Structure 1
């Protein structure tokens, strides 16, 4: 037997696994490609020599309005050489050297439907120099997807999807998108046009792709960069460019497991997106497995990705489990079993996720047999004025965000025989989402053999949520 430590709350829960169990740890089992020795020099080189667009120095001058758009706290890190901290000062330097006045530069956090970033979080993301130079003058803001004084309705694109975008971005002479190309279960990668199609728009636009008719297709699971969702990201981003009359000047970094830059590309979003994907493929898709697995095991901390409560909020728990299915479906047997540790103590974090308890309660009643049935309430919750107020003014997630999570969560039900939560302090919340509960990994593993038979192939995934994940494939 071998002992594996899985995340649980703010600590770990041990599991005794058979020696035959395979363990995969991002960045260790399969090493990342080498990261850049000098990310500052590489980023400067990319920005000064953009692909498919003229350099910033030739695109702006005195009187030009510049907007720099950067991702929120969910991705990218805040270490000294994090991509945002490296790239934004270089962009600012180029603009100011070209004659742009400081007052004509805006920095917008592309939080989309995520909660707005606090003053302290913006400081950590941007670093003290940029933050202090621009924040106190009101030039650093969060995107507000409900502020119709600063939104532009661009109608519907050629594919019938409603497109809305941030007005400051729309009115700019140059828009610089700072993004990260990192493995993501939603359309393969973050960055590129996904950044624009989710970060600077509104819930109606996001409802064209973060919904069951897009996410429950065969081209969504397993994850890939050719799904309908990915196509919609590109279509929406290009529609924004067409309406603006300008390309997004994009500076995306391909990141490794620990947030270090593997490569940096700058230029037109449509020009650099395939280049960054090509490099990212070498890190993200790990063709490692030699067999199909019957059981997938991992642990869920309380605080990760979307915030404190992700690992205890039952709706988000189901989404996180489904995301692992989406990432690793290629190496799992059809209708496999998932075993996951979670405190599952009923902590929804209502301040940060104001719509989620209501969504969970609705699921328990009114003929809601599957998570998809909840979608009849999209407008009811998404237009709730009190919840919108919490998103706009009290650092809460937008009410539609929960529906994008239930759309993902149902993928676990579609692709598993059973999902077990181990160590639940309030197991009724897990059972309310259709999951089974056991006290320990060993008890769950024993019960799971009813579905898999004796001697199942086990895939253990420590650090599944505390490191940037990879997408597993077979060696063949």
Structure 2
């Protein structure tokens, strides 16, 4: 037997696993490709020689309006050489050298339906120099998807999807998108046109792709950059460009497990997105496994990705479990069982996730048999004025955000024989989501054989939620 420690709350829970169990840790079991030795120089070179667009020096002049859009705290990266901290000062320098007035530059956090970033978080994202130079003049702001004084309704694109975008970005003479290309269960990768289709729009636009009819297709699980969701991101982003009459000047970095740059490209989004994907594929899609697994185990901390409570809020717990299925479906057997440690202590974090307790309660009533049944309440919840106020003025997630999580969560039911939560302090909350509960990993493993049969193949995934994940496949 061997001991593996899995995340649990703010600590760890040990599990005794058979010696035959395999272990995969992102960036460790299979090493990342070599990262850039000098990300500052590489980023500057990319910005000065963009692909498919003229350089910034030829695109702006005195009197030009510039909007620089950057990802929110959920995308991580607060170290000194993080992509946002490296690229934004170079872009600012190029704009100012070309004659742009400092007062004509806006920096916009593309939080989309995520909660707005606090002053302290914006400082961490941008670094003290950029923050202090622009924030106090009102030139660093969060996107507000409910502020119709600063939104533009672009109608419906060729595919019938409603498109809305940030007006400051729409009106800018130069619209810059700073993105990260990193493995993501929603459409393969973050960055590229995903950034525009989720970060600077509104819930009605996002509801065209973060919904069951898109997320429950065979091209969504396992994860793929060729899914309908990814195509919708591209279609929406290109529609924005068509309506603006100009391209987004995009500067994307391909990142490794630890947020270091593997490559940096700048220019037209349509031009650089496939280049970013090609580099990212080498790090993200890892054909490592020699077999399919009957049981996958991982541990869920209380605070990760969407924020404090992600690992205890029962709806977000289900979404996080499903995200691992989306990533690793290629190596799951047909009878696969998932086992996950979680405090599951009743902490919804209502201030940050104001719609989630309401969604959870509705799921227990009103003839809801599956998470998909909750979608009949979309208009009611997404337009709730009190919840919208919490999003706009009190750092809460937009009320529609929960529906994208329930759409994802149902994928766990679609693709497993059972999901176990171990260590739940309030096990009834996990069972109310359709999960089984046991006190320990060992108890869950003993029970799981009734689904898998004797001598199941086991894969342990420690640090699944605390490192940038890979998408696992089988050796060819």
Scaled to the shorter chain, the TM-score interval is over 0.9
Residue number in structure 1 paired with 2:147? 147
* Aligned residue in 2 for 1:351: 351
Map of 2:271 onto structure 1: 271
Q: Aligned residue for 1:86?
A: 86
Post-superposition offset of 1:334:
1.6
> Structure 1: which 4+ aligned runs deviate by more than 3 Å?
none
Separation of aligned partners in 1, 2:209 and 2:51: 28
Per-residue deviation, residues 429-472 of structure 1 (Å, max 9, x unmatched): 00000000000000000000000011100010000000000000
- 3-state SS of the aligned residue for 1:445? helix
What's the counterpart of residue 114 of structure 2? Answer: 114
**Residue 168 of structure 2 is aligned to residue 164 of structure 1:** no
Equivalence for 1:98: 98
Between the aligned partners of 2:377 and 2:234, the Cα distance in structure 1 is 28
User: What is the Cα deviation at residue 76 of structure 1?
Assistant: 3.5
Aligned partners of 1:192 and 1:273 also within 8 Å: yes
What secondary structure is seen at the aligned counterpart in 1 of 2:47? helix
- Matches of 1:459 and 1:206, distance apart in 2: 34
CA positional deviation for 1:335: 3.8
* 1:182-261 alignment runs, 5 A limit: 182-261=182-261
Aligned partner of 1:445 in structure 2 is 445
Length-normalised TM-score, structure 2? 1.00
Contact map agreement 1:76 1:83 (CA 8 A) in 2: no
The answer to whether the 8 Å contact 1:372/1:407 transfers is yes
Work out the CA distance in 1 between the residues paired with 2:337 and 2:132. Answer: 50
Determine if contact 1:180/1:190 at 8 Å carries over to the other structure: yes
The answer to whether 1:424 aligns with 2:421 is no
Q: Secondary structure at the match of 1:89?
A: helix
Question: Structure 1, unaligned stretches of length 5 or more?
Answer: none
> What's the counterpart of residue 326 of structure 2?
326
Query: Per-residue CA shift, 1:227-259, capped at 9, x if unaligned?
Result: 000000000000000000010000000000000
Q: Which residue of 2 aligns with 1:391?
A: 391
Tell me if the contact between 1:76 and 1:84 (Cα under 8 Å) persists in the aligned partners: no
Map of 2:74 onto structure 1: 74
1:77 to partner: Cα distance: 1.0
Secondary structure in structure 2 of the residue aligned to 1:296: strand
Q: Contact (CA 8 Å) 1:105, 1:139: kept in 2 or not?
A: yes
Q: Residue by residue, what CA displacement relative to the aligned partner does 1:339-375 show, whole Å, maximum 9, x if unpaired?
A: 0000000000000000000000000001000000000
Deviations 1:192-238 (A, max 9, x none): 00000000000000000000000000000000100000000000000
Q: For 1:417 and 1:277, how far apart are their aligned partners in 2?
A: 33
Give the TM-score taking structure 1 as reference length.
1.00
Q: What is the alpha-carbon distance in structure 1 between the residues aligned to residue 321 and residue 395 of structure 2?
A: 25
Matched, 1:35 2:59: no
- Paired residues of 2:335 and 2:451 also in contact (CA < 8 A): no
8 Å CA contact 2:335, 2:452 repeated in 1 = no
Aligned residue number for residue 138 of structure 2: 138
Aligned partners of 1:76 and 1:180 also within 8 Å? no
Query: Could you say which residue in structure 1 is the equivalent of 2:53?
Result: 53
C-alpha distance in 1, partners of 2:449/2:414? 20
Question: For residues 399 and 428 of structure 1, what CA distance do their matches in structure 2 show?
Answer: 24
